[in-house]
DNA sequence: TTGTTAATGAAATTCATTTTCAATAAGGAG
DNA sequence: CTCCTTATTGAAAATGAATTTCATTAACAA
């Protein structure tokens, strides 16, 4: 039956190998957790869910996997007002989006309305800034801060 | 000779009083540090400089003052990739600007080129989002991430 | 001058994240 | 399939920014 499932869904095995890293059960669990949610989870929230897929995984491995994926550009690290970072898959079925961050409850709301103009303007600005400041731009962040409906009343 | 310097430069005394807070030597030192730099300082960097203006100030007071000023909307808290927050005066002579963040050295570069279009688009988007998500927007953040000139070679 | 209470410093505490280190396992070579 | 190199791991200890506690001090209104 051949080599079996040499590549997991999405070619993660290959992505790791291409950079000299290895695919492990722990990493697979973290990736599966991130793949199966639209939420913005913190490291320990990911840890709790990953444990259900693989009870042997340690929190340390979650942190290390998140760091690796971040370096690989496969996830985005979000820093809301509170001090725990949150993560989301860069290439999710959510597609490109920006964030509304509630400064009261730290909830993060995704939006992808109205962003076509934003993205267009951004990529133009990116080019200009890149040239002027001799800065290699890899990524951008747009966030609006305020109070969400629940916190406002 | 009247009541003397009842209001410091910028009306800070009044800003605090208007909200039921008090103006103190510690707060004045923190504000003076922030007023006299274009850098994005962390709490302990502010502490070190504030001590030169007022050797009695404690780090705790710096944190508390920064939090108060942040709530008052007088400063912006920046969260670069590393975990120490950085601060800048909201109303500085720098004027409105956005940021380029180096993901290698965590340096933050201000830019105010090209932002007229950005700001215009943003305020339109703000209105639409505000309405659609019933979200009261107070502030926005635009940042580009990448590698600065020094880190790139 | 006095009284109320916001503000303070020092020390203790919290808690997310990182480091250490010995044990384990991925996966290429043979 | 087996061996070997070394990336990866878990547990525990360490780190470090930020916060809390608490008794003391000082702002400022009356």
pLDDT in tens, A24-45: 999 999 999 999 999 999 999 9
Q: What is the count of structural domains for chain B?
A: 2
* Mean pLDDT of all residues belonging to chain A: 88
Highest mean pLDDT, choosing among A28-42, A71-85, B133-147: A28-42
pLDDT of residue A68 exceeding 50: yes
Q: Are residues A105 and A44 in the same domain?
A: no
Nearest residue to B27 via CA among B15, B41, B40, B45: B15
Same domain, A21 and A55: yes
Instruction: Note the pLDDT tens digit of each residue in A88-100.
Output: 999 887 888 999 9
Nearest to B33 by CA among B18, B16, B48: B48
Instruction: State the pLDDT at residue A143.
Output: 87
Q: What one-character DSSP code corresponds to residue B11?
A: S
Please indicate whether, in this complex, the C-beta atoms of B125 and A109 are within 8 angstroms of each other.
no
In terms of phi and psi (left: phi > 0; alpha: psi -120 to 50; beta: otherwise), the region of A101 is beta
Residues 62-91 of B with CB under 8 A from A: 77, 79, 81, 83
B77 and B19 belong to one structural domain: yes
| Average pLDDT over all residues of chain B | 88
Give residue B6's pLDDT band: very low, low, confident or very high (50, 70, 90): very low
CATH classification at residue B56: 1.10.10.10
Q: How distant is the Cα of B43 from the closest Cα of chain A, in angstroms?
A: 14
Q: What is the pLDDT of residue B74?
A: 94
Chain A residues touching residue B71 (CB < 8 angstroms):
none
pLDDT tens column, B13-39: 999 999 999 999 999 999 999 999 999
Regarding whether A72 and A20 lie in a shared domain, the answer is yes
> Is the shortest CB-to-strand distance from B43 to strand D under 7 Å?
yes
The shortest CB-CB distance from B136 to any of A129, A142, A147 is to A147
Q: Are residues A82 and A109 in the same domain?
A: no
**Same structural domain, B59 and B130:** no
Q: At what angle do helices A25-35 and A59-71 cross, to 10 degrees?
A: 70
Q: Are residues A47 and A78 in the same domain?
A: yes
A123 touching B, CB under 8 A? no
Most confident listed range (A9-18, A85-94, A98-107, B64-73): B64-73
Residue range of the domain that includes A114: 96-153
Please indicate whether, in this complex, the C-beta atoms of A113 and B128 are within 8 angstroms of each other: yes
The confidence score (pLDDT) of residue A5 equals 38
Select the residue of A129, A138, A144 nearest B111 (Cβ to Cβ). Answer: A129
Q: Please give, rounded to a whole number of angstroms, the shortest distance from the CA of B141 to a CA of chain A.
A: 5
> Do the Cβ atoms of B141 and A138 come within 8 Å?
no
Count of C-beta atoms within a 10 Å radius of residue A5: 8
Per-residue pLDDT, averaged over B63-85, amounts to 91
pLDDT at A124: 92
Same domain, A10 and A33: yes
Same domain for A127 and A113? yes
Domain match, B34 and B82 both:
yes
Consecutive H or E run containing A15: helix A12-18
Please report the pLDDT score of residue A53 as a whole number: 97
Q: How far apart are CA B84 and CA A29, in angstroms?
A: 30
| pLDDT surpasses 90 at B153 | no
CATH number, domain containing residue A138: 3.30.1490.190
Is some CB atom of chain B closer than 8 A to the CB atom of A132? yes
């Amino acid at each position: 039956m051949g080599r079996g499932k040499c590549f997991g869904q999405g070619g993660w095995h290959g992505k790791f190998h291409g950079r000299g890293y290895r695919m492990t059960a722990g990493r697979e669990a973290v990736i599966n957790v991130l793949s199966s949610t639209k939420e913005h989870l913190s490291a320990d929230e990911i840890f709790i869910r990953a444990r259900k897929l693989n009870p042997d995984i340690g929190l340390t491995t979650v942190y290390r996997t998140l760091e690796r994926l971040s370096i690989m550009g496969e996830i985005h690290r979000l820093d809301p007002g509170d001090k725990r970072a949150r993560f989301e898959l860069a290439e999710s079925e959510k597609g490109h989006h920006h964030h509304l961050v509630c400064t009261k409850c730290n909830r993060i709301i995704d939006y992808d309305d109205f962003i076509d103009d934003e993205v267009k303007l951004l990529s133009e600005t990116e080019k200009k800034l890149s040239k002027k400041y001799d800065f290699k731009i890899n990524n951008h962040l747009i966030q609006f801060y305020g109070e969400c409906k629940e916190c406002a009343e």
